[in-house]
Amino acid sequence: MLNYNSEADLLYSAPQLFRQGGVFTTLIMVDNASRPESVMHIRAWLKNWRPDAVIGTKSEIDLWVNDHHEEAREQGRVYFITHHENRGYSAGNNIGIRLADALGTDAVLIANPDMRIEDPLYLARLTESLFADDTNCVAASRILGLDGEDQNPLREPSFWEELFWHRFYLSKFLKPISYILPIAGTVPVRVPKVSGCCLLVRMSFLRETAYLDEDVFLYCEEPILAARVRKAGGHIVFDPSLSAVHAHVRSEKGNSSRRMLTFIKSRRYYLQRYSGYGRLRLMLLHVSYLLLVALHSIKMRLGRSR
């Protein structure tokens, strides 16, 4: 679990994961350079909730694991890794994934702090879906928003949908495009992509692909992971019989244009490295996104001038 100023959510969701039964678990929380008060809050909470939790920087915890080989791998061990630099979502998660790999885990559940997992056998059942086939690299469940709408599984936009992003601004007048794939029944099925807010990843796949791609700070982690799974000849499996709630509340704070510019940077990286598009399509998308960058840059300047 990766924390960035999300201590209120973390303190609610971490005990839910700790209570997961039917599998041998370790709970690893990583702080991604949050506010000092956020880290202090978590530290104080851990002293009461799990006084045996191992707390420290990555290097401090690595030393403790090396010196306490058997204790480090005990069922239910809790780690809290503090990190002084925020290098993004994937880089932060990789800190915890590398510790999990050193501990000898078979799979890693990557879960945002705002996930709500009430079923105490959720992880055990998701693990069964992941290891049901040797080619499965990722497993995920239904994800419901606070509005009750499905957020999983997903599909990538087509080339034409992405090229004509202008349609998004006309969605009030045109039928909205959905990127959620409707899945009927309760039998696990293979899907092209799943949300990154909660998914189980086979450790051998992560190890063979050098863990998560750290070249994007935020956004587009899901299509990048999906592309890496395809390149490895693996599959993503979706189990519709399981569900969790993504208690994400859209914030009105922050600059939406700045977030969009970050997304565009990540998306262009994905397209160039993973999409498999030829030179012509990449050039057309590049020009299209340059126009979107210009629009949001103007919007940001106008906002500052007010």
Q: What is the pLDDT of residues 49-61, one digit of tens each?
A: 999 999 999 999 9
Range in 35-49, 182-196, 246-260 the model is least confident about: 246-260
- Rounded mean pLDDT, 236-240: 98
Higher pLDDT, 174 or 242: 242
Question: pLDDT value at position 29?
Answer: 98
- CB-facing half-sphere around the CA of 124: CA atoms within 13 A: 11
Higher pLDDT, 167 or 253: 167
Q: What percent of the chain has pLDDT over 70?
A: 95
Q: Mean pLDDT score of the chain, rounded to an integer? A: 94
Question: pLDDT value at position 251?
Answer: 60
Residue 253 pLDDT level (bands cut at 50, 70, 90) = very low
- Is the pLDDT reported for residue 172 higher than 80? no
Question: pLDDT value at position 252?
Answer: 43
Q: Determine phi and psi for 80, rounding to 5 degrees.
A: -130, 110
Integer Cα distance of 298 and 59 in angstroms: 44
Question: pLDDT value at position 129?
Answer: 98
pTM, 2 dp: 0.93
- CB-facing half-sphere around the CA of 39: CA atoms within 13 A: 15
- Rounded mean pLDDT, 115-120: 97
Are the C-beta atoms of 255 and 306 separated by less than 8 Å?
Answer: no
- CB-facing half-sphere around the CA of 273: CA atoms within 13 A: 17
